[in-house]
Amino acid sequence: MKRRVVVTGVGAVSPVGNDAKTAWENIVSGKSGVGPLTRLDPEQFSAKVAAEVKDFNIEKYIERKEARKMDRFTHYALASAMMAVEDAQLKIDETNADRVGVWIGSGIGGLETLETQFETFQKRGYRRVSPFFVPMMIPDMATGQVSIYLGAKGVNSCTVTACATGTNSIGDAFKAIQRGDADAMIAGGAEAPITRMSYAGFCANTALTTNPDPNTASRPFDLNRDGFVIGEGAGIVILEELEQALNRGAKIYAEIVGYGSTGDAYHITAPAPGGEGGARSMEMAIQDGELKPEDIQYINAHGTSTDYNDKFETMAVKTVFGDHAHQLAISSTKSMTGHLLGAAGGVEAIFTVMAIKEGILPPTINYETPDPECDLDYVPNESRSANITAAISNSLGFGGHNATLAFKKYE
């Protein structure tokens, strides 16, 4: 018999707030975290805007000496995980450490560290390369450091599936609890991709918007969308087996009931025509959750503000939901956060469970000119009250990775 799994804690560092509560309040109010590019020289690139984390200080969480041994993506993951554990009031000690796991992914990992250390190597030779270079760079180190700092000794893994990373990580962690491999999991995604080479690469493949106005640059499902805004941060959730959560009196945001994961087998960057891979992922999550398509009332869409993604995701929704596609609400919170790549699914899972718990649909801002090929209810520009009993969150990644999580109001 499948064990039931619930979300009992959330933590985030994001362009719209450096904790989950602030991020959610800003999302609901339609406040964007997109601004002028400041981490890099915008004159060197075709894209001029980014969704940067602001006023974040890792020394609130760990000592400066230790922080210097970590890349920024690990800083974001560690801070978010600490906040999520505190939010869940989950005590990890010798009585349960081996039943608490960590599953945090990163699509790119420590690319900033790679760039700076390679520059040091070129200028000064290998002897001046930091001995912490490799453990700072590798994507699994967010999971490793969270495990070390919080004392979680259970299932310990890292997923790397590009923009589907955070969603896959939470889904895989959910399955670990459901089948009995763990009783609690610290799960999500972390990313710090606003670096010289990353930004250059995304500009070169024309994935980023060239709209220089931060206020309108990220416009998912709008006819005038022209690319995504790159973002950074982390989103971490605490998943627990239901009986354990109830026995310790934990608050419950929502129940996670389904997980879908598929491959397009089509193209390295473009989604499969009609979004057929994403459609199968949604169908899998709904079936896994023992739901019917008409049970779903809200979708937190991948919604990147790119031409093909938004069009094909809309087509996928119509394939899965039929006539019900026009009855459910869809929003892309990337209109405010930008695209956090491997962290997107973690942050968006938080927004999805908050929508269920608070009864509020976050908006898709900057929706001004309807696209005839994107003709569903995208909750344009203003949030909306709604009693949501079931919702899904989608993530679609380069390489043809598709992942979907299904959540229900806990009853």
Query: In this structure, are strands 254-263 and 233-241 parallel, antiparallel, or unpaired?
Result: unpaired
DSSP character at residue 362: P
Burial of 44 per CB tally in 10 Å (0-12, 13-18, 19+): exposed
E strand or H helix at 208: none
DSSP character at residue 281: H
Collapsed DSSP state (helix, strand, coil) of residue 244: helix
Collapsed DSSP state (helix, strand, coil) of residue 72: helix
401 is known as an active-site residue:
no
267 is known as an active-site residue:
no
Closest CA to 316 of 357, 351, 358, 285: 285
- CA dist 145 to 153, 217, 349, Å? 12, 35, 22
The answer to whether the beta carbons of residues 190 and 234 sit under 8 Å apart is: yes
302 is known as an active-site residue:
yes
- CA dist 106 to 12, 109, 141, 166, 206, Å? 15, 5, 9, 7, 22
The CA-based angle 78-193-348, given to 5 degrees, is 65
User: Residues with Cβ < 8 Å from 122, sequence gap 6 or more?
Assistant: none
What gap in Å lies between CA 384 and CA 136, rounded to an integer? 42
User: Residues with Cβ < 8 Å from 241, sequence gap 6 or more?
Assistant: 3, 4, 5, 177, 183, 184
- Among residues 75, 158, 302, 401, the one annotated as catalytic is 302
- Among residues 158, 163, 374, 401, the one annotated as catalytic is 163
- Among residues 75, 158, 339, 374, the one annotated as catalytic is 339
Catalytic residues: 163, 302, 339
